[in-house]
Structure 1
Amino acid sequence: MAPKTKDTELGTERRCTRCGEYWPDDAEFFYTKKGKTQQPCKACYAHLPSRVARRAGARA
């Protein structure tokens, strides 16, 4: 199993639970709640079935 975070020359990176990719552990790539980053990354969150259905309903 891959580690949840890793330190690189760019800073701390967090692994997304959905895609498995490492992204910088900040608000640009992950949503935050009470100062902590939340899973999954923003790109994967946008493709969750609940988010897709909500976007489809908003267009109707």
Structure 2
Amino acid sequence: MTAVRDGPLLVEGPVRMTLEDGTVVDSDRFVVAICACRRSRRYPFCDTSHRRRVRR
């Protein structure tokens, strides 16, 4: 597993995860990007939503 600064966790696949609600999610990709910020519309998988900047 590799942690990307201000980004996802990269895990060598295939991956099977059990979410907090008990839902099991599978991915057969070679590398899976796991969302660490919970902004992803595809949570628990990263969709790069963390890259969007908040305007101040």
Q: TM-score, normalised by structure 1?
A: 0.23
* Richer in helix (by share): 1
* Richer in strand (by share): 1
Relative contact order higher in (CA < 8 Å, ≥ 6 apart): 2
Please identify the structure whose Cα radius of gyration is greater: 1
